């Protein structure tokens, strides 16, 4: 299928998408539209975000809905309110010339009675989040016995968010003869298990390679000391004046701290996290979509369902534990045929994680150097001059009426002096900030314990895999509690209910004292010196 006209879609749909400027289907649309138009087998479609998945299921389903029958014929489940509204908006655009077709979004965080009234009027297609959909089922406000199409959009995200039980409960309310369409960016084991349990001989369609990133995204990494992450973040942003992106953090508290620090330092940034009300979240997202914000700081959970097509950057302030999460993060940029950059700020002991992502995602990371003051100031200056050159003045601009007085005020200055003063007035604060700024780059990967002259002490920690703790969490805890000193860390052994960590023997007691007053994920940390791990020796044969 080279164009939509060859797809078999009816004239009403072709006219609507033609007005939207769509002529050529994306790869995922080319493969799925014929399958769904023919009401064929169940379908598993694997594709990254931003590849046109809503059109892939929406365009073929809309013309098959029987509008004369006021019942729910298509149910679309998605992870978040934002994605629910985006899907509904897209479907309404596709169905522009189907006046009697009704599409209803249902989601949490808003008055449920309003949604119940909308459903009672008669809906053909319902788009909903799993939690709210289950609530409506329990209230007997929706009937799913006639659903022909059950569509799970971003299925991997819904499972990651803990909606497995909700999804199974909802699917049990739909008829066995339905066509189930499962769309996902990745194929984790839970998705495979769900497909075996609830789908009948599904056809699998994959665009690109499983668990691989978008080809439009460049992958960069910067290596710094863990304590210099925030300074590095600011420099990366400063050297990219037109940056428009999401900064991903590990925890809700870190998200708040980084966003507050960026705003205090004069950056055009804000955060979304679980402590915001829905109204506050909507306001932040409205400002971000309108590009009134350049940077949105978020955790993976808070960012779910954010659908913005023209992000220039995704910045991993911390790498995620799951490689598939990194792939999903990076897929938020480089969309709709545009180029994007995924940045990772790592410390010296995280290089193995970059190599693991390269292996699984089949992408190559490029080592970048944290820019120095001269490079940043030069880039900012020329960006400012470009903005000045591109500034348009209206004929009746009040600036023009002030120009005679301006000329008179500056008449005593020579051209070179005027330009120099002009630049200095704009950039003095900026240049002063970066004056004598240190080099943040770490030029060598951390040496292994065997190649180090550091004497290590082995500590017992009362946290393990059951506490959902990671090596990065432990290193981050040390860096956050011991300021002004980089404590060398050796091998970390994560066991089921506890762990062992090697730290520089010189700081043994300080680490025990400072970390023993901390809490991680609600659990008080306890450390003590452990028995040194015995070295392994081969038994000599006699």
241-284 residue pLDDT tens: 889 999 999 888 889 999 999 999 889 999 988 788 878 888 99
pLDDT tier at 471, thresholds 50, 70, 90: confident
Per cent of the chain over pLDDT 70 is: 91
pLDDT tier at 25, thresholds 50, 70, 90: confident
Say which residue, 260 or 325, is predicted with more confidence: 260
Instruction: Strands of 372-485 (E only): list them.
Output: 456-461
| DSSP category for residue 467 | G
pLDDT for residue 236 is more than 90: yes
385-411 residue pLDDT tens: 777 777 777 777 887 788 888 888 888
**Quick one: residue 266, left, alpha or beta (phi over 0 = left, psi -120 to 50 = alpha)?**
left
Domains and CATH numbers, the chain: 4-206 (3.40.50.300), 217-372 (3.40.50.300), 374-390+399-434 (no CATH), 449-529 (3.30.70.330)
pLDDT tier at 5, thresholds 50, 70, 90: confident
pLDDT tier at 432, thresholds 50, 70, 90: confident
335-356 residue pLDDT tens: 767 889 999 999 877 888 888 8
**Quick one: residue 470, left, alpha or beta (phi over 0 = left, psi -120 to 50 = alpha)?**
beta
Tokens (6 digits) for 367: 């080592």
Distance CA 232, CA 240 (A): 13
Distance CA 224, CA 221 (A): 10
pLDDT tier at 41, thresholds 50, 70, 90: confident
pLDDT for residue 138 is more than 50: yes
β-bridge mates for residue 527, sequence order: 461
The pLDDT value given to residue 542: 39
187-233 residue pLDDT tens: 777 778 888 888 888 888 887 545 455 678 999 999 998 889 999 99
- Average pLDDT over every residue of 101-106: 95
List of long-range contacts for 175-178, beta carbons under 8 Å, 24+ apart: 175/145, 175/146, 175/147, 178/147, 178/148, 178/149, 178/150
pLDDT tier at 50, thresholds 50, 70, 90: low
pLDDT tier at 453, thresholds 50, 70, 90: low
pLDDT tier at 321, thresholds 50, 70, 90: confident
pLDDT tier at 537, thresholds 50, 70, 90: very low
The pLDDT value given to residue 114: 92
Tokens (6 digits) for 98: 């189907």
Residue in this structure with the two tokens 């000391």, named with its chain if needed: 225
Residue 256 burial (CB count, 10 A): 15
65-100 residue pLDDT tens: 999 988 999 999 998 888 898 899 999 999 999 989
Mean pLDDT over each residue of the chain, to the nearest integer: 84
Burial class, 230, CB count within 10 angstroms (exposed 0-12 / middle 13-18 / buried 19+)? middle
| DSSP category for residue 411 | T
Say which residue, 441 or 375, is predicted with more confidence: 441
- Average pLDDT over every residue of 5-28: 88
Distance CA 275, CA 257 (A): 13
- Average pLDDT over every residue of 7-35: 88
| DSSP category for residue 167 | H
pLDDT tier at 533, thresholds 50, 70, 90: low
pLDDT tier at 480, thresholds 50, 70, 90: confident
Instruction: Strands of 368-482 (E only): list them.
Output: 456-461
* pTM for this predicted structure: 0.56
Minimal CA–CA distance to 360: which of 221, 188, 488, 239?
188
Return phi, psi of residue 205, to 5°: -120, 130
Residue 332 burial (CB count, 10 A): 25
Say which residue, 421 or 237, is predicted with more confidence: 237
pLDDT for residue 141 is more than 90: yes
pLDDT for residue 536 is more than 50: no
- Average pLDDT over every residue of 109-130: 92
153-195 residue pLDDT tens: 988 878 877 788 889 899 989 998 999 999 887 777 777 888 8
Q: Please give the C-alpha separations between residue 159 and each of 151, 190, 194, 359, in angstroms, as whole numbers.
A: 14, 7, 10, 25
Distance CA 246, CA 343 (A): 10
Distance CA 432, CA 440 (A): 18
The pLDDT value given to residue 449: 45
Number of H helices, E strands in the chain: 20, 20
């Amino acid at each position: 299928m080279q164009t939509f006209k060859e797809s078999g879609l009816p004239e009403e749909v072709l006219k609507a998408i033609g007005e939207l400027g769509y002529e050529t289907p994306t790869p995922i649309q080319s493969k799925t539209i014929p399958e769904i138009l023919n009401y064929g087998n169940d379908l598993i479609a694997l594709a990254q975000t931003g590849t046109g998945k809503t059109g892939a299921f929406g365009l073929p389903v809309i013309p098959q809905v029987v509008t004369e029958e006021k019942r729910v014929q298509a149910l679309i489940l998605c992870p978040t309110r934002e994605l629910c509204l985006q899907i509904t908006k897209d479907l309404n655009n596709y169905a522009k010339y189907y006046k009697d077709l009704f599409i209803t979004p249902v989601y949490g965080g808003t008055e449920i009675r309003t949604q119940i009234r909308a459903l009672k009027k008669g809906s053909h297609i319902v788009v909903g989040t799993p939690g709210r959909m289950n609530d409506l089922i329990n209230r007997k406000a929706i009937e799913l016995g006639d659903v022909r199409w059950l569509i799970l959009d971003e299925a991997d995200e819904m499972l990651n968010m803990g909606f497995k039980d909700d999804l199974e409960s909802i699917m049990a309310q739909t008829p066995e003869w339905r066509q189930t369409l499962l769309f996902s960016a990745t194929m984790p084991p839970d998705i495979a298990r769900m497909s075996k349990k609830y789908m009948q001989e599904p056809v699998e369609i994959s665009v690109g390679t499983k668990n691989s990133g978008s080809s439009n995204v460049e992958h960069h990494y910067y290596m710094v000391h863990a304590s210099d992450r925030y300074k590095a973040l600011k420099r990366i942003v400063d050297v990219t004046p037109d940056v428009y992106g999401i900064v991903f953090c590990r925890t809700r508290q870190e998200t708040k701290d980084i966003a507050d620090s960026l705003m205090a330092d004069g950056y055009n940034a804000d955060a979304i996290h679980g402590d915001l009300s829905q109204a506050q979240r909507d306001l932040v997202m409205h400002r971000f979509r309108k590009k009134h914000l350049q940077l949105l700081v978020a955790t993976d959970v808070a960012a779910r369902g954010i659908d913005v097509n023209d992000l220039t950057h995704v910045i991993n302030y911390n790498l995620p534990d799951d490689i598939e999460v990194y792939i999903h993060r990076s897929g938020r940029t480089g969309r709709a045929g545009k180029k994007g950059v995924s940045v990772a700020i790592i410390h010296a002991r995280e290089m193995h994680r970059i190599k693991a992502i390269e292996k699984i995602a089949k992408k190559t990371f490029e080592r970048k150097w944290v820019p120095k003051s001269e490079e940043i100031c030069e880039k900012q200056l020329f960006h400012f001059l470009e903005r000045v050159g591109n500034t348009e003045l209206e004929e009746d601009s009040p600036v023009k009426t002030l120009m005679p007085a301006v000329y008179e005020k500056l008449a005593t200055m020579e051209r070179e002096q005027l330009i120099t003063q002009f630049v200095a007035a704009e950039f003095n604060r900026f240049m002063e900030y970066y004056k004598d700024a240190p080099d943040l780059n770490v030029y060598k990967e951390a040496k292994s314990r065997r190649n180090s002259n550091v004497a290590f002490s082995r500590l017992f920690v009362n946290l393990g895999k059951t506490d959902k703790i990671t090596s990065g969490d432990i290193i981050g805890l040390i860096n956050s509690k011991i300021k002004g000193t980089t404590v060398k860390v050796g091998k970390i052994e994560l066991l089921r209910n506890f762990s062992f960590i090697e730290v520089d023997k010189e700081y043994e007691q300080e680490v025990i004292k400072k970390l023993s007053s901390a809490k991680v994920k609600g659990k008080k940390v306890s450390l003590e010196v452990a028995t040194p791990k015995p070295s392994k020796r081969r038994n000599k044969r006699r």
